[in-house]
């Protein structure tokens, strides 16, 4: 990695209610580029994103982020009870933009996700997929340096998924470091340069996406990718 990583996690551990959620996790995310995190339910993928975003403080370890703007699109979008336009505007409050630039950027973002005609409608009345597209419009409008994505297209139809995947690729091409959590392995193969497999709170394997997906080296990655019951394999492996 020539550039310093956009995200550097080292030895990060988190315990809740006596359970180990993250177990000395190491994770580097390159900038620019798309890094995917895959792994079974409960592996700690969402928690890792929340640790990176500062929503959860780990018990131990180092979390270092390169400076810059950060956007997070959750599996269930966090929207306020206001118009679609106002929701996109919220992402821009800390940016120094003229009123005209701000309005142009908001409308361009809404148009990009096919919601411009709905700009004045109440966001909380949108369908799940429309809300997700709106959350993406907000993230895109911010031009973030770091984009954290948790199952970003889980509720989207194929056409909307294609639009969003195009946006993700475009943002990475413009210099954003993207960290993508997804169970959609086709999507991971289409988008991610590098993929990390998380199992029981540890990064058990990492590599270029295609070689990792097609020839995993570890028992945990193989178990996840072939759909075997991972918890029994992990118990046996650890
Ligand atoms: N605030 C919390 N308090 C206690 N346990 C938690 C908390 N948040 C998450 N966990 C636990 O941490 C583990 C990892 O959860 P996480 O949501 O990161 O899994 P995941 O890998 O994203 O799974 P999935 O693929 O199902 O989304 C789970 O066992 C979950 O119950």
Q: Is 105 in the pocket of ligand 1 (CB under 6 A)?
A: no
Say if residue 202's pLDDT is above 90: yes
172 and 178 Cβ atoms separated by less than 8 Å: yes
Q: What is the pLDDT of residue 191?
A: 96
Is residue 36 domain-shared with residue 130, that is, in the same domain?
no
Average pLDDT over residues 162-184: 93
- Ligand 1: which atom is nearest the Cα of residue 201? 14
Ligand 1 neighbourhood includes 41 CB (under 6 angstroms): yes
Mean pLDDT on 175-204: 95
By the 8 A CB rule, do 103 and 120 touch?
no
Query: For tokens 């998924």, what's the residue?
Result: 161
ipTM over 0.90: yes
| Best mutation site among 12, 20, 45 for ligand 1 pocket (most ligand atoms within 8 Å of CB) | 45
- Omega prior to 32 cis, within 30 of 0: yes
- 230-237 vs 219-226: helix crossing angle, rounded to 10: 170
Stronger pLDDT, 5 or 192, i.e. the higher one: 192
Element (H, E) at 134: helix 128-142
Distance CA 195, CA 180 (A): 9
Statement to judge: residues 92 and 159 lie in one domain: no
Q: Confidence class of residue 2 from pLDDT cuts 50, 70 and 90?
A: low
CATH label of the domain that carries residue 208: 3.40.50.300
pLDDT per residue over 38-69, tens digit each? 999 999 999 999 999 999 999 999 999 999 99
Listed residues 127, 144, 161: the one ending a domain: 144
DSSP string, 201-234: TEEEEEEEHHHHHHS--SHHHHHHHHT--HHHHH
Residues 236 and 153 in one domain: yes
> With 0-12 CB in 10 A as exposed, 13-18 as middle and 19+ as buried, what is 103?
middle
pLDDT tens digits for range 72-130: 998 888 899 999 999 999 999 888 999 999 999 999 999 999 999 999 999 999 998 89
Nearest atom within ligand 1 for CA of residue 43: 21
pLDDT number for residue 134: 95
What domain count does the chain have?
2
Residue in 37, 43, 47 to alter for ligand 1 test, most ligand atoms within 8 A of Cβ: 47
Residue 175 has pLDDT above 50, yes or no: yes
CA atoms within 13 A on the CB side of 42: 7
Helices (H) and strands (E) in the chain, counts: 9, 9
40 in the same domain as 114: no
Query: Residue 195 and residue 36: Cα distance in Å, rounded?
Result: 5
Predicted structure pTM score: 0.91
Q: What is the mean pLDDT of residues 141-162?
A: 92
């Amino acid at each position: 990695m020539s550039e310093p990583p956009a995200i550097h996690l080292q030895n990060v551990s988190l315990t809740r209610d006596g359970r180990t959620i993250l177990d000395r996790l190491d994770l580097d995310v390159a900038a620019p580029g798309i890094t995917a995190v895959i792994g079974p339910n409960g592996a700690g993928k969402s928690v890792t994103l929340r640790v990176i975003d500062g929503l959860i403080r780990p018990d131990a370890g180092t979390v270092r982020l390169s400076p810059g703007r950060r956007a997070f699109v959750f599996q269930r979008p966090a929207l306020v009870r206001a118009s679609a336009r106002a929701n996109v505007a919220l992402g821009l409050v800390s940016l120094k933009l003229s009123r005209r630039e701000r309005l142009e950027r908001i409308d361009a973002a809404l148009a990009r996700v096919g919601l411009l005609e709905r700009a004045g409608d109440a966001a909380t009345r949108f369908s799940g997929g429309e809300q997700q597209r709106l959350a993406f419009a907000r993230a895109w409008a911010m031009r973030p340096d770091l984009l954290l994505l948790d199952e970003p297209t889980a509720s989207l139809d194929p056409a909307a998924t294609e639009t969003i995947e195009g946006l993700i690729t475009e943002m990475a091409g413009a210099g954003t470091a993207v960290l993508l959590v997804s169970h959609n392995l086709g999507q991971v193969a289409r988008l991610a340069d590098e993929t990390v497999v998380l199992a029981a709170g540890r990064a058990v394997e990492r590599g270029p996406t295609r070689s990792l997906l097609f020839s995993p080296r570890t028992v945990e990655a193989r178990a996840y990718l072939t759909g075997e019951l991972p918890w029994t394999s992990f118990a046996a492996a650890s």
